[in-house]
Amino acid sequence: MNANFDVSKFVRSKYLKASDLDRRKPLRVTVQGVDEREFPEQGTKVVLSFLEIDQGMILNVTQVRTMIALFGVQAGIWRGQRLNLTQVASNYQGKPTILITENEASAPDSAEVVFGEN
């Protein structure tokens, strides 16, 4: 029996959270899909899926605005786009969030970002 395997997959959420990311190194991903999903307590949200990881990402309002600023309002254009996902400190509810950037060089090292909406 091989006891040398990564057991984190058994506790990983279906959706990516900031705590899943390394604060020191952005995760470079490619958008595979963009969907609208209904969540009982949150309402309708935009959810991204990626080629490189099996977790989806539920976007908050700030993240949707970032995607619009980067790629436009047509969600179909978002498919195939390369993104950096970085864990950053947030003043909103005191928990870390995910910062979306387009260029590898634009990801912050340890920036503090203020998000007013989730």
Query: Rounded to whole angstroms, how far apart are CA atoms 31 and 8?
Result: 23
Contact 57, 85 (CB under 8 A): yes
Residue type, 58: I
Q: Is the pLDDT of residue 28 over 70?
A: yes
- Helix (H) / strand (E) element for 28: namely strand 27-39
Sign of CA dihedral 29, 30, 32, 34: positive
Distances (CA, A) of 71 to 33, 53, 101: 14, 21, 11
Residue-level pLDDT at 95: 82
Model's pTM, two decimal places?
A: 0.78
Mean pLDDT computed over every residue of the chain: 84
